[in-house]
Structure 1
Amino acid sequence: MESDDPSSRSNSPPPQRRRICGNCDRPQAVCLCHVLPTTPITTNTRILIIHHPHEAHHKLNTARLLTKSVRHVTTHLSRKLLHSHLTDQSPFATIYLFPPSPTTPAVTLSDLKQTLNNHDNVLLIAFDATWKHAKEMVKASEGVLESVGAIRACLDVDENLTGGSIYDDELVLRKEPFKGCVSTLEAVARVLGAIEDKGDDIERVLIGVLREMVRLQAGFLKPVKLRPKLLKKSKQNEMKTLLE
């Protein structure tokens, strides 16, 4: 029988904290150092990540992996893009990642390099947040984006299809509202693949990091039991009446 004496409980060893890798900042069990570039990749494109506060502490956030993998990455914890975030970026052609809207068209990846007209200096802005928060962030940032003539760029998006990445089903780890919504790391990798001189190689390395993260993390996922969809009370009564 377990003793009720508080002193006996205080003598029990404290729970051990997970060991964190000092290089990739991930738990040792899911360390990614073996796939991260030995030296961060140098790109002509500079990457600016506006990091929503709610996303900052998410365990599966991929923006941190970008800062470990690519040299010219700057992150700001903010709910919108500010002019101060663009200091010394004036010589750059600016693009930002977001799907098109009825009022704001977007350039697809296949046309992006031609649109940039082989501009050597490009600033890529990514809003790192959930889909809902990203919409709010882009709306709040419209004034700054317009002031620098930023071009909206997008991956292929199909709002009629549910799911995650439109590229690789194995990369789905966090549920997205529809196909075309991908992680920040994957989206940036696809853009760099389209506009960098050695884009194919860069994209392959970054997607490799993401794929390994998903593979390791998937080993800790618990099986999900699907629950039957509950009808509203009015619908339940309607169905009951039909069955009587």
Structure 2
Amino acid sequence: MEESELPNFELEETSGNDNDDRRIPSEKREICLNGCDRPANVCLCNELPSEPISTSTQIFILHHPHELRHRLATVPILCKCLRNCQTLVGRRLRKGSFPLLDSLHNASINYHSGPHRAIFLFPGTDSSPAIELNQWVSSSSSSEDSLSDLVLIVFDGTWKHAKEMMAASLPFLSKFASKVCLDHDVSVEGETIFDSDLILRKEPFRGCMSTMEAVARSLRVLEPNGVEIEQRLISVLRAMVRFQASYLKPLKPRPKLSKKRKEDEKKNSTLQLGL
């Protein structure tokens, strides 16, 4: 996968303390009703695109119910930035979730359609591998319109919830969607693989990021003007993080991550001395 980081591919993991749920003082809780629907003192209306960004990719987000109460949720802002972005609050995808997904499922079952026109974003494991998104695009790019009308499915929740949602949805999704991932390293804890300044919540391993960042990085690969779209979404996300950070305690690196960094620094120092 939401919210901070900055899913987890969709995926976002809290450290166990809901620091992101701490209340902004009640006297400052006036809500902006002009567009962003956020507290007025952290209004993002000036950062949002003047018009939602159109994409050929259809984005469907399964939004875990627990995420509705989180102050760092990026999905509501993401949906205001993208025209072709839909969300469903729930714990799994199945027939009846979205008409378009139903049609893809039925076509695959009834007509044995060709290459999957849908992908779902989730890190792979030894038992359930995923193809890296760039590789999937390369293998699917046999024609100019090979990526037109593509469907991107994302799970939005804590890392634990996202895994549960993916597993519960897999019997349905596996019939018509391919599992893809962004580059990540499960052996290294914490932080997004891109920009550490986008982090507000601790992540289980390097490569996890907020849903908004994950979608932005994916659209960079999937859309013809993906670089521009990514930059626009990330600029909004940075503004959100900048506002939100003033209300949160700075994150301290997890003990294992701090230890690894110290070991790396010691190893580098030893190598330099040996030169």
TM-score over 0.5 (shorter chain): yes
The verdict on how the C-alpha distance between 1:35 and 1:172 changes in structure 2, with shifts beyond 3 A counting, is: same
Q: Which deviates more from structure 2 when the two are superposed, residues 80-89 or residues 175-184?
A: 80-89
Larger radius of gyration: 1
* 1:3 alignment counterpart: none
**Aligned partner of residue 220 in structure 1, secondary structure:** coil
Alignment of 1:76-225 (within 5 A): 76-89=88-101, 90=103, 93-117=117-141, 118-148=146-176, 150-222=177-249
Q: How far has the Cα of 1:200 moved from its partner?
A: 0.3
Please say if 1:58 is aligned against 2:58. no
The verdict on how the C-alpha distance between 1:100 and 1:219 changes in structure 2, with shifts beyond 3 A counting, is: same
User: Does 1 or 2 have the higher relative contact order (CA < 8 Å, sep 6+)?
Assistant: 2
Equivalent residue letter for 2:140: L
Q: Which deviates more from structure 2 when the two are superposed, residues 139-148 or residues 80-89?
A: 80-89
Equivalent residue letter for 2:206: K
Tell me if structure 1 keeps the 8 A contact 2:189–2:203. Answer: yes
RMSD in angstroms over aligned alpha carbons? 2.1
**Aligned partner of residue 182 in structure 1, secondary structure:** coil
Deviations 1:27-77 (A, max 9, x none): 111111111101000000000000001112211011111110000111111
Find the aligned partners of 2:252 and 2:158 in 1 and give their Cα distance.
24
Tell me if structure 2 keeps the 8 A contact 1:50–1:76. Answer: yes
Please say if 1:20 is aligned against 2:31. yes
| Number of aligned residue pairs | 214
Structure 2 residues without counterparts, runs of 5 or longer: 1-25, 105-115, 257-275
Q: How far has the Cα of 1:16 moved from its partner?
A: 3.7
Find the aligned partners of 1:180 and 1:224 in 2 and give their Cα distance.
17
The verdict on how the C-alpha distance between 1:33 and 1:101 changes in structure 2, with shifts beyond 3 A counting, is: same
TM-score normalized by the length of structure 2: 0.73
The verdict on how the C-alpha distance between 1:205 and 1:227 changes in structure 2, with shifts beyond 3 A counting, is: closer
Equivalent residue letter for 2:32: C
**Aligned partner of residue 153 in structure 2, secondary structure:** strand
> Equivalent pairs: percent with the same residue?
48
Tell me if structure 1 keeps the 8 A contact 2:147–2:222. Answer: no
Equivalent residue letter for 1:46: Q
Deviations 1:146-202 (A, max 9, x none): 122x11111111111111211001000111111111000000000000010100000
Find the aligned partners of 2:193 and 2:81 in 1 and give their Cα distance.
23
Find the aligned partners of 1:132 and 1:192 in 2 and give their Cα distance.
25
Find the aligned partners of 2:171 and 2:249 in 1 and give their Cα distance.
44
